Structure 1
Amino acid sequence: MNDRQWGPLEIHPSDVGAEATPEGLVAHLRSAAVDEQLVAEKALVYRGFNVTEDTLDGVMDLLLPNRLAYVHGNSPRTKVGKNVYTSTEYPPEFTISMHNELSYASAWPTRLMFFCHTAAATGGATPVVDAELWLNLLDDEVREAYAKGVRYTQNLHDGLGLGKSWQDTFETDKRDEVEAFLDTSGATWKWTGDGLRVSQVRPSTLEHPVTGTEVWFNQSDQFHPASLGDDTAKALAAIMPVEEMPQSVAFADGSPIPDEYVIQVRDRALDAAVDVDWRTGDVLLIDNVLVGHGRRPYTGSRRVLVAMSD
C-alpha cells in the first residue's frame, strides 16, 4: 500500500463480533493482540462502542497498561482523573502542528489514547501523520542539517510569567523532586531568580524499537518562534531575546535553525496528515513513535481526553 494512502484502522463492533457497548469493547480487547496490531497499523480507531467518560477506565486499563503522568509536558492541559488529561487547551481557532508526544524529553510514552467525550460543532479533527513518511517528505538539506540533533530550552516561571510554571510542568511544588527528575534526564538546568531554566540535546530522528523504522521525532517547529506566526514572533522578539522565551530551540551545537526549515517541517506534516474526524464515544490509540498527531481548528464545544503509557 502506498504510504500516502495510510490511515488509522477503524474497528467497529460488527468487525469483531462484539456488542456495541463499552463492555463489548473491553471483551474484544481482552482477546485481541493489540500490541501487534498497533505496530502493524500504527493507529487504531475504536468506533461505535458508545464509550463514555464513566466507562473509560476499563478500556484504558487494557490499552494503557502503565498509565503515565504528563510530567515535563509543555502544553496547557487539565488533569481530570488518574493520569488522564484534557487534550491541549489552545484556543479553538488555532491549528496545533504535528508532533510526537514528549519527543523533546528524555523519556516519552510509547502509545497515546484519545477519547472523544464531545465532538466539536465543526472541525476539531485530530490529524495523524506517518512519521516515516514525514521524514521522507523533507528536503535532503533539512534532514542533513538536523542530523546531529537539536537543543531545546525551557524557561519555566515560578508562578507568574509567560508559558507554564515549573510547578505545573513537573506536577509538584517540591524543588528536590524536580531536581531528582532532571538529574536522571540528562538535561542541564539551573534555578533562576524567577523560575527554572532547562536545556537538553535530543535526536531529530528515532528508530522504532520493534520495526527498526527511522522516523522524524522532534518538536523543533513547536519550540521555534517562526511557528508562532509573524505577528506573534515579532511581538515576542521586541520584548525578549530568543533565549529568554518560555521555550526555544537550536541545533545541537547552539547554532540557529533557519525559519524556513521549521516551516517546511511543520507544513509538510500537516499537508500529509490524515484527519480523524471525531464522533462522540470514539477511542483513538496511536503508536507515539510511528505516528505524529495534532489538532485542526474548530467551533463549538469540544472535549477530548488523552492518556499515555510506556
Structure 2
Amino acid sequence: MVDTAQTWRPLEVDPGSAGVPSNPEGLAEFLRGQDVTRLLAREKAVVFRGFGIDAESASYDMAADLLLANRLAYVHGNSPRTKVGRNVYTSTEYPAEFQISMHNEMSYSHRWPRRILFCCALPAATGGATPVVDGALWLAALDPEVRAAFASGVRYTQNLHDGMGFGKSWQATFETEERAEVEAFLDGTGAQWQWRADGSLRITRTAPATVEHPVTGAEVWFNQADQWHPAGTGEEAALLAEMLPEEELPQSVGFADGSPIPAAYITHVQETGLRLAVDVDWRRGDLLLVDNVAAAHGRRPYSGRRRVLVAMSD
C-alpha cells in the first residue's frame, strides 16, 4: 500500500491564470490556444471557473464544442438521467441525502466516454460537491489482497424491465423502443444477452477491474463493482437484495468466474476512493472536465435544489 496523503488535485483555470477576459469569449480564446487532449492527459481533471458560462444557453454549447469532440448519447447507461439538450443530460437523479461513490462513467460497458464535462446551472444550498480521485492513486492505495482478488476481472449482470419493475427499462437504457436496435448494439459488445418471457432483457458481461490509460500508460482502478454490489449501494438496494434472488436484481456483480465478491472488499474499495477524493465545490457557471479513464468522480450529499448538467465524448 502507498501513503494515502493527497498528492493530486484538479487544475483550476480562471480568467486571471489564463490571461483572458472573464466571459465566455475569454474561455474560448484560452481553449483555442490549448492542446486540450494533452492538457487533460497531464492534469486528469480541469475546473474552468469565472467565465460566466450559462449552463442552458449558447455559451455552454460553445464551450462544450471546444472541449468535447463528439458528444455521445447516454446509451447503455445505468443511472437515472433526463436528456435536456443535444446529448446533454442531468447528472445522476439520485436522492440528495445520499452520497454517490467514486466511479468511472460506464466502466461496466464495452465502450465508455473518454471525457466527461459537468456544468453547474445551480449549486446546492449546502453540500453537493463533485469529488474526483486519481485512478492510479486509488489503485495503489488498495490492499494487495483486494487487488489480487480482482486481477481476473468482474462479471456484471443487468436485468432491464419492459416498462414496469425495479431499476431501469431497456427502452430508457438504450433510448429506443425497437428491440432490433438494442440487439444491433449488443451484438458488438462481447456481452451475453437474452430476451426473457416477461419482456425484460438480461445482459451479462465480463470486464477487467483495471485498465491502462491510452496516453500515459498508467494502470488505473476502472470498474463499478462497488456500485453494483449490495454492500456498496445503500440501505434501499440492500433491502431489495434480501427480497430478490441475486439473478433477478436490476444489477449485480461477481468476480469473473462468477464467484461472489466479499462485502468487506467492496467496503474497502469504496471507502478508499472516497477518502482520497478531492471535492470540487460548485459555483454557478463552473465547468469541470474529467478524463474518464484517469480520474473517477462521485457526488456528495446536499440540501436544497441542485442542477448540474453533464455531457460526454469519446
Could you say whether these structures have the same fold, taking a TM-score greater than 0.5 normalized by the shorter chain as the test? yes
CA–CA separation in structure 2 for the residues paired with 1:210 and 1:251: 28
CA displacement at 1:232 relative to structure 2: 3.0
Q: Find the counterpart in structure 2 of residue 62 from structure 1.
A: 66
Aligned to 1:214: 219
Shift of 1:237: 3.2
Distance 1:3 1:18, change over 3 A: farther
Match of 2:14 among 12, 15, 18: 12
CA–CA distance in structure 2, aligned partners of residues 60 and 158 of structure 1? 34
The question of 1:25 aligning with 2:27 is answered yes
1:38 is paired with a residue whose SS is helix
* Matched residue SS, 1:177: helix
CA-CA distance at 1:24 after TM superposition: 1.3
The answer to whether structure 1 residue 305 and structure 2 residue 313 are counterparts is no
User: Measured at CA, do residues 115 and 234 of structure 1 come closer, stay the same or move farther in structure 2, by a change above 3 Å?
Assistant: closer
For each residue in 1:188-221, what CA deviation from the matched residue of structure 2 results, as whole angstroms up to 9, or x when unmatched? 0000123100000000000000100000000000
Instruction: Report the Cα distance in structure 1 between the residues aligned to 2:171 and 2:20, rounded to whole angstroms.
Output: 44
Name the counterpart of 2:209.
204
What displacement does 1:233 show? 4.8
Partners of 1:272 and 1:234 in 2: how far apart? 25
C-alpha offsets along residues 90-138 of structure 1, whole Å, 9 cap, x if unaligned? 0000000000000000000111000000000000000000000110111
| Counterpart position of 1:138 | 142
Task: Give the distance between the partners of 1:233 and 1:169, measured in 2 at CA.
Answer: 19
TM-score by length of 1: 0.97
Runs of 4+ in structure 1 deviating by more than 6 angstroms, as ranges, are none
8 Å contact 2:231–2:238 — kept in the other structure? no
SS of the aligned residue for 2:120 comes to strand
Q: 1:189 aligns with which of 176, 180, 193?
A: 193
Identity of aligned residues (%): 63
Cα distance in 2 between the residues matched to 1:222 and 1:49:
34
Aligned match of 1:40 = 42
Displacement of 1:239 in angstroms is 2.0
What pairs up with 1:92-131 in 2 under 5 angstroms?
92-131=96-135
Structure 1 Cα separation of the partners of residues 98 and 289 of structure 2: 23
Separation in 2 of the partners of 1:171 and 1:281? 29
* Residue 175 of structure 2 is aligned to residue 171 of structure 1: yes
Q: Deviations over 1:149-191 (max 9, x none)?
A: 0000000000000000000000111100000100000000000
| Distance of 2:169 and 2:13 partners within structure 1 | 40
TM-score by length of 2: 0.96
Deviation at 1:235, TM superposition (A): 2.3
Q: Structure 1: 5+ residue runs without aligned partners?
A: none
Q: Distance in 1 between matches of 2:31 and 2:238?
A: 50
- Structure 1 letter corresponding to 2:296: G
RMSD across aligned positions (CA): 1.1
2:242 match: secondary structure: helix
Q: Which residue of 1 aligns with 2:299?
A: 295
| Number of residues of Structure 1 aligned to a counterpart in Structure 2 | 308
Per the alignment, in what secondary structure is the counterpart of residue 6 of structure 2? helix
Residues 142-161 of structure 1 mapped to structure 2, 5 A cutoff: 142-161=146-165
Per the TM alignment, residue 3 of structure 1 is displaced from its structure 2 partner at its CA by 7.0
2:226–2:233: 8 Å Cα contact kept in structure 1? no
Deviates more, 1:205-214 or 1:191-200: 191-200
For 1:12 and 1:86, locate their aligned partners in 2 and report how far apart those are by CA, in whole Å.
25
Deviation, structure 1 residue 238: 3.3
Contact 1:223/1:249 (<8 A) preserved: yes
Separation in structure 1 between the aligned mates of residue 61 and residue 5 of structure 2, nearest angstrom: 34
- What is the deviation of 1:15? 1.1
| CA distance in 2 between partners of 1:26 and 1:115 (Å) | 15
Which residues of structure 2 form unaligned runs of 5+? none
Question: How far did residue 59 of structure 1 move?
Answer: 0.4
1:115 aligned counterpart, secondary structure: strand
One-letter code aligned to 2:37: D
Mapped contact 1:3–1:133 kept (Cα < 8 A) = no
Partner amino acid, structure 1, of 2:25:
E
Letter in 1 for 2:66: L
Q: How far apart, CA to CA, are the structure 1 residues paired with 2:242 and 2:296?
A: 32
Partner Cα separation in structure 2 for residue 253 and residue 298 of structure 1 = 38
Within the candidate set 220, 228, 244, 1:223 is matched to 228
- Cα distance in 2 for partners of 1:148, 1:38 equals 29
What is the alpha-carbon distance in structure 1 between the residues aligned to residue 217 and residue 281 of structure 2?
Answer: 30
Match for 1:303: what amino acid? R
CA distance in 1, matches of 2:237, 2:66: 43
How far residue 30 of structure 1 moved from its aligned partner, in angstroms, is: 1.1
Return the alpha-carbon distance in structure 2 between the equivalents of residues 228 and 3 of structure 1.
Answer: 26
